[in-house]
A and B are shown apart, each in its own frame.
Chain A
Amino acid sequence: MADSTLETLNRCLSLVPIVLQHQGISVDELAKRAFSTREQVLEDLSSTLLMCGVPPYFPHDYICFSLEGDRVHMAFADHFRRPVSLNAIEALSLKIACESTAPLGERPNKSIQVLLRKVEESMGPKQRSLFRSLSKRVRLAEDAVESGSSIQQRLASALFDRRVISLDYVAGRDGVARALDLHPYGGVHRDGHWYLVALVEGESAPRFFRFDRVRGMRVLDRHFEIPASLRLEEWTRRPLLGFEAHQRAKVRFTGVAARWIREGAEAGSVEDGADGSALWYPQIADEESLAKVLLAFGGEFEVLAPESLRQKVQRLLQAVLTAHS
């Protein structure tokens, strides 16, 4: 819905039923329910809805709202008593969001399924039919755990019970397997892979572990507590290559690789070069991993800074040549 007029109309048509259903609701509560701001709600009420009425436009033919202190009341708006049915895209978004929290390796629980069925039945017949068709023809990221179902099940159980685990893990940067005792805080699926967010015992901050690098796992007979401040959703935005990445690299991509990086890089991290190239400024926390990411983009790039990253790229390429000689 690119048209801002339609966005405002959609918002206003949802605002009225909330007030009618909850007469006397506070402006802040209304803003919260409407996923809006206090200022936006007041603007919608006073500038848009107050202008709306039906012929012959006598005073009581216009929507009337009043603010008593901080409490909102509304009258003469019975025709807007129910919100417009969810459209197919809205219902799809809701389905994605609700199902996104299903436990590892499990289908969404019964309450999610019942809720989504209830929502579907509340929709208008046309939108319901569109939504059913759309749900079958939209495929999101693969929800598979690459390293096998038994690890997945034991991990899900450890997550639920807050049990310490011992992990045999192959680090991406050097390919060396290590045994680590971890406090598993949660699993995050992003960019096509599952990651475990976990604290290594003895370390001060949790970090990512990619599921497909787990070679083995044991659940230990010890428990832990998840810090109250941990928000799993914040970990879906953290750089995968590190956690305290203050420094940025500078890499120039040319040719087809420039298109790739423009399409795929984090917003705001790419500049256009004068010659049609693309300059990428990725965060650096682990140079070895970043060098591998650069090589995986395919051809036509040059590390402009730092020198150490350039050397890492050279070493990897030399290793490729040696292995193939």
Chain B
Amino acid sequence: MAVVSKLERLMNLVAVLLASKHPIPFSAIRGQVIGYDDAASAEALEKRFERDKRDLRQLAIEVDYTDQNPDQLGYVIRRERVTQREMEFTHEEAVVLSMAARVGQVATGGGLLGEALKSALRKLSVDLPDGDIAAEIHALTSLRAQSGDPGAQMTLAALAQAVAGSRRVRFKYAPLSGTAAVRQLDPYGIGMVRGAWYVVGHCCHQQEIRTFKLARIQGEVDLCGQGQGPDFDVPVEFALARHLREEGWELGDNKPLTVLLRVPQGAPTQIMPARAAEVSSDARGVRFELSVRRPAELIPWLLARGGAVVVDAPQSLRQQVCEAAEALLQTNAVNHTIATPEQLAASAG
């Protein structure tokens, strides 16, 4: 017998297990089901079967072994647990699904979540009534888009599954500074901040809760251990939002430092970070206090304000801002050779 493709083998395996009213022993699969009828050894066929079961689990198709009835030992796919129950959609719900399809790519950020959305809508469409409702979609008045960084898409699926199942994971992580190292993590949650995905969990090496950027994970995310989990309990006091702060200067565990910032008279105060608290106002401007754990992370934000926000204290940060501005001024000095528009167009493709 020729070896058939994996796709054909998996289709046949699912078909035979779904079609049977009784459990099927592996002896009735080996040599009988196309894809398990080639000249491979019994051990190789068994390993193939185990791999197939694992792959099918990724599609939410669980192949279970049942030994409840001694006369009927074997493998089953429990239809009631694996297949989607019948649904009736109202017209309004069908419009919502149609709208979800229309905005899906931008709403999910595309990539893995975009493909998962298509798959979800494909499965639901079996119960959708006939007729074209796309024309009935009313104009949108608001839309939330997830940009999603492309580098994160590869690992998002594995981490989302691990978060959902409370499974310990292992991955190689390249921090922004320092060398890449293997980390073991109990992932408590995942979240997106300004278009970038992060996973938060208990780092087994550092023995504390840490946040990792998915785009900096190198290679695959592997589950630790062979069991089904859960491998850990999420502490009741854990709050994901507390670990997904939006500003770099708020991150980390350093002792908070109070920075005194001033918006000069006449400049708009709306540009101040949401967590900055106004403390005083006089002829020189409006003063704000901001709690900062990583003062260096505040410097780029201050440079981008172009002098519209001034550091009054501490003096050390004020000095660092000036040094950073002077260094960049030197790099971007006036007498530098600037590319011509033709050179620029050629290099930009």
Chain B residue contacts of A188, Cβ below 8 A: 142-145
- Report Cα–Cα, A260/B195, bound state, in Å: 13
Interface residues on B, range: 35 or more
The reply to whether the CB of B338 lies closer than 8 angstroms to some CB of chain A is yes
Interface locus among B126-134, B202-210, B251-259: B126-134
Chain A residue contacts of B90, Cβ below 8 A: 111
B329 x A143 contact (CB < 8 A): no
A139 x B124 contact (CB < 8 A): no
The reply to whether the CB of A256 lies closer than 8 angstroms to some CB of chain B is yes
The reply to whether the CB of A276 lies closer than 8 angstroms to some CB of chain B is no
B interface with A by C-beta (< 8 Å) = 4-8, 10-12, 14-16, 18-19, 32-34, 55, 58-62, 79, 81-87, 89-90, 92-93, 96-97, 99-108, 112-128, 130, 139-147, 149-151, 154, 157, 160-161, 163-166, 176-177, 188-196, 213, 215-216, 234, 240-241, 244, 246, 264, 267-268, 270-271, 274, 297, 299-308, 310-311, 318, 321-322, 324-329, 331-332, 334, 336, 338-339, 341, 343-344, 347-348
- Report Cα–Cα, A79/B302, bound state, in Å: 64
Q: A111-B90, A122-B84 are in contact. Are A139 and B303 (CB under 8 A)?
A: no
19 contacts between A and B (CB under 8 A): A6-B59, A9-B59, A35-B118, A86-B123, A89-B112, A97-B108, A122-B86, A126-B62, A139-B190, A159-B141, A159-B142, A187-B142, A188-B145, A248-B344, A264-B149, A320-B325, A322-B307, A323-B264, A323-B308
Would you give the 0/1 interface string for A101-135, flagging 1 where the beta carbon is closer than 8 Å to chain B? 11110000001101100110111111100110110
- Report Cα–Cα, A54/B327, bound state, in Å: 72
B306 x A314 contact (CB < 8 A): no
Interface residues of A in 308-325 (CB under 8 A from B): 310-311, 313-325
Interface size on A, residues (CB 8 A): 145
- Report Cα–Cα, A186/B145, bound state, in Å: 13
- Report Cα–Cα, A71/B92, bound state, in Å: 28
Chain A residue contacts of B104, Cβ below 8 A: 93, 97
The reply to whether the CB of A141 lies closer than 8 angstroms to some CB of chain B is yes
Chain B residue contacts of A324, Cβ below 8 A: 307, 310-311, 318, 321-322, 325
The reply to whether the CB of A73 lies closer than 8 angstroms to some CB of chain B is no
Q: A22-B130, A54-B16, A233-B140 are in contact. Are A115 and B93 (CB under 8 A)?
A: yes
B15 x A54 contact (CB < 8 A): yes
